[in-house]
Amino acid sequence: MSEPDDKTEGPAPSWGPMRSFGRIRSRTLKPRQAALFDTLLPTIALPDPEAGPIDPKALMPEATEVWIEIGFGGGEHLAEQARRHPHALMIGCEPFLNGVGSALRHVEEMGLKNVRLHAGDARAVMAALPDASLDRVMILFPDPWPKARHNKRRLIQDETAVEIARVLKPGGRLRFVTDWKDYAAWAHERFLRTEGLEWQAERADDWRTAPADHVTTRYEEKQLGDTPPLFLEFVRT
């Protein structure tokens, strides 16, 4: 995989106060989704990460695995993975309120009991999680910030990669998917230089072909990027 054309000068900035996402809400919530914010969300909302550490075992004691999806969009991928893996606690983070509303609808319609949602920045959640507490981290089609001067706003920075490695259990898996060539190269470079993350690809088809358990999303079907989806898979050593 080729290296990114990185025109950003200087070291990557701290990701603390800088947003790596765009809109928070684009349109008025549908009445049903708005109602679910009042009824369903309080029952499945993740504890406030700013209030202290989050113990996944306390959220679903019977869970045999803990997954997190960072930026779940409309929630269809998160919900389908939760349906397929009822034994796993599925943590979903999304700052875009219309996406949270859509995910709540999926959770209700599918009767899911293993989903916990955070309507905000996933990086605060990861910071509140214990070391080696996650079995899988999934990042599908994050905002690419394609202009070089905006690359510093991308979710994947060296600091984020280190934090992902910290919260993954040994043998835990990271999946990063994008339809922008430059972002794939950017993320690939940063994950490769992160201690504890081992890339799984052996040939080009390994990153060009969707994994068997991939769930196609509505965003993916729109084909808005400059390449078919690229799938980067890493394992925590």
Among candidate residues 168, 167, 135, the one with its CA nearest the CA of residue 65: 135
217 marked ligand binding residue? yes
Contact 60, 38 (CB under 8 A): no
SS3 state at 207: helix
Contact 113, 82 (CB under 8 A): no
182 marked ligand binding residue? no
233 marked ligand binding residue? no
> Exposed, middle or buried: residue 31 (CB in 10 Å: 0-12, 13-18, 19+)?
exposed
169 marked ligand binding residue? no
Q: CA-to-CA distance for 97 and 95, rounded, in angstroms?
A: 6
121 marked ligand binding residue? yes
166 marked ligand binding residue? no
As annotated, the active-site residues are 143
109 marked ligand binding residue? no
Binding residues: 69, 94, 121, 143, 147, 179, 217-220
Binding residues for substrate: 147, 179, 217-220
Binding residues for S-adenosyl-L-methionine: 69, 94, 121, 143
